[in-house]
Amino acid sequence: MDNVKLIMDGREIMARSGASLLDTAREAGIYIPTLCFEQDLEPLGGCRLCLVEVKGMRGLPAACTTPVSEGMVVNTSTPEINRVRRNTVELLLANHPEDCLTCVKNQRCELQKVAAYLGITERRFRRTAEPRPVDESNPFFKLDHNYCIMCQRCTRACDEVTVVNAIEVLDRGPRSKIGTSGDKPFMESICRSCGECVVRCPVGALVPKNNVVPTSEVLTTCCYCAVGCSMYLGVRDGRIVSVRGNHEGGANRGKLCVKGRFGISEFVHHPDRLNTPLIRHEKGLAAASWDEALDMVAGRLKGYTPDEIAVVASARCTNEDIYVTQKLARAVLGTNNVDHCARL
């Protein structure tokens, strides 16, 4: 792919042909504020914050939807651009709740970050919107319309990434809001609770119900099926408090299903979870070491013929583990009675 040469903020930059001005700026280390942009979603240009000045081009085009071209002269931060940006953000803040310090997205809120960048320290416009109800029907996350800034990152993710299209923009004008078909609660819709909308929300509109900020993260692989989705487990006080997909993961590229995103901590910390092998005696089950349990299983298997033995592999094992399991059955135990429960 050929490169093109352009001038951005007085710097000569070589850009990828076909790239947008926003991508080019980011690759060059130039910050342009955005709220509706997501790297793996089609650019929308709806938030009107990534505006730039392009010599010879009328108006202030959105950087996310404007492709680079040879010889372009671009300014990303001028008094006029930042004046328009401030007006846009101030209008968003007019109907936004004033509880930043106690908001679950405090210090992680992208609206907060953009407002600080633009030097906004007070509200200039009065509130015009009436309070809206909160949808808490989903067991894993809630939708609070009062925080929503209509960036549509959630609806686009549901349409473009999961291809479920469970949520869309309802109504028009000042009555517009994010919702399901027929404006029903989440749990009465076709929503799969995957949480792709939640992780993309830049503010506190879509947030997990168990929203605890972790103090450290551990890179691991999801154990719910054999796909091998890469994820980061957020840990605090020795407990898993959050899960996020690893964007560098080859199998999932940051995406997770409902089991991986919301189901890990539930079974890891469940009080009924076994932490040690149990051996059944006359008086019931008793805890044992792995060596004791394996010795007992190996000893009892010797008393059966190969046709009397069957091996069932778990759908939560990796493909490599399942391969070893069938190898154990056929080469060691001498049985072809092998099954695999690929049903979750």
- What residues does each domain of the chain span? 3-96, 129-211, 213-273, 276-303, 305-344
Would you say residue 329 has pLDDT above 60? yes
Measure the CA–CA gap between 186 and 76, rounded to whole angstroms: 40
Task: For residue 230, give the nearest of 242, 218, 239, 238 by alpha carbon.
Answer: 218
110-117 vs 79-94: helix crossing angle, rounded to 10: 140
Check residue 126 and report its DSSP letter.
-
Tallying the residues shown for the chain, one arrives at 344
Query: For residues 55 and 72, is the Cβ–Cβ distance under 8 A?
Result: yes
- 46/84 Cα distance (integer angstroms): 14
User: Over the stretch 138-171, which tens digit does the pLDDT of each residue have?
Assistant: 999 999 999 999 999 999 999 999 999 999 999 9
Strands 311-314 vs 338-341: parallel, antiparallel or unpaired: parallel
- Judge whether 235 and 217 are in contact, CB under 8 Å: yes
Which tokens go with 30? 């130039």
Token pair for residue 119? 């030097």
Which pTM value belongs to this model?
A: 0.83
Specify whether the backbone of 253 is left (phi greater than 0), alpha (psi in -120 to 50) or beta. left
Is residue 79 within 8 A of residue 129, CB to CB? The reply is no
Residue-wise pLDDT for 168-193, tens only, equals: 999 988 889 999 999 999 999 999 99
Q: 213-273 in CATH: which number? A: 2.20.25.90
- Percent of residues in the chain assigned helix, strand, coil, to nearest 5: 30, 20, 50
CATH of domain 3-96: 3.10.20.740
pLDDT of 226 above 80: no
CATH 3.30.70.20 for domain 129-211, yes or no, is yes
SS3 at position 148: coil
